[in-house]
Amino acid sequence: MKRGFTLFDLMISLMMVAIIAAIGISQRNDSILRTKVASAHADMRRVATALESYATDYGKYPYDGVNAYLPASIQFSYWYLPYTISTPVAYLPTHRVPDPFRRASNPLFEQMCDMRYISTGSTWGAEFPMYTGNPTPSHFLSAVRADVGGYRVQMAGPDGTMGPQGYHSPATQPPFNYPYSSVFRPYDATNGTFSTGDMIRSEICLSGYPQP
């Protein structure tokens, strides 16, 4: 007489199916994330090429705050690509480069879903005093240049938010002594695909910061 399935057998079978399904979902999510990371790297590389072309023509990187699509009252919002990167000369088709990971913390600021661009000369230097109101450079200018050179572009990474901050980069070391708590931690896939940190590319480093 043949023995049928018991309730215990059925439970074991269902558990095995659930485990296999969970592994498949995890692998699928990991594959999707890796695709996003690769796409973000490609966009950052494309932007870096455009910035270098702009600097060749104008002798400096563009200001990091002019965004014509915003209302005049908030048009000079820092740390995003300016419209001058796409007009009158189209170094890029548009100055809007979406961050595939970023979640806007304020729906009134559409640009908060875009890739960040930080010009060292704009924020810490005195290259655009008419916009920044800074006729002299910051005493941290050389420190920032040690980390990123003339600019950095930045995306949120898989955690979907900018940060965390707190990283020992070259700028935090003597003689610069830039505040450790102000340095964005770079994303490193070797710490796990879903690890925290931001994707960072700069004039002097393709990923993260220069190694000592």
pLDDT digits (tens, 9 = 90+) for 44-73: 999 999 999 999 999 999 988 755 445 554
CA–CA gap between residue 159 and residue 123 (Å, rounded): 26
**Would you call 200 exposed, middle or buried from its count of C-beta atoms within 10 A (0-12, 13-18, 19+)?**
buried
**Would you call 118 exposed, middle or buried from its count of C-beta atoms within 10 A (0-12, 13-18, 19+)?**
buried
Tens digits of residue pLDDT in 106-136: 545 666 788 999 999 988 988 877 766 778 8
Contact 155, 198 (CB under 8 A): yes
CA–CA gap between residue 98 and residue 207 (Å, rounded): 19
Tens digits of residue pLDDT in 153-188: 999 988 888 889 999 999 999 999 999 999 999 998
CA–CA gap between residue 132 and residue 116 (Å, rounded): 18
Query: What percent of the chain shows pLDDT beyond 70?
Result: 79
Radius of gyration of the chain (CA): 23
- For the chain, the structural domain boundaries read 42-202
What pLDDT score was predicted for residue 70? 52
What pLDDT score was predicted for residue 19? 75
In the predicted model, is pLDDT for residue 105 greater than 70? no
In the predicted model, is pLDDT for residue 75 greater than 70? no
The per-residue pLDDT of the chain, averaged, comes to 82
Query: CA-CA distances (angstroms) from residue 197 to 119, 159, 186, 208?
Result: 20, 7, 5, 10
Give the mean model confidence (pLDDT) for residues 19-35: 71
Dihedrals φ, ψ of 60, to 5°? -165, 165
Polymer length in residues for the chain: 212
Give the mean model confidence (pLDDT) for residues 202-209: 92
Which of 59-73, 142-156, 188-202 is the least confident region? 59-73
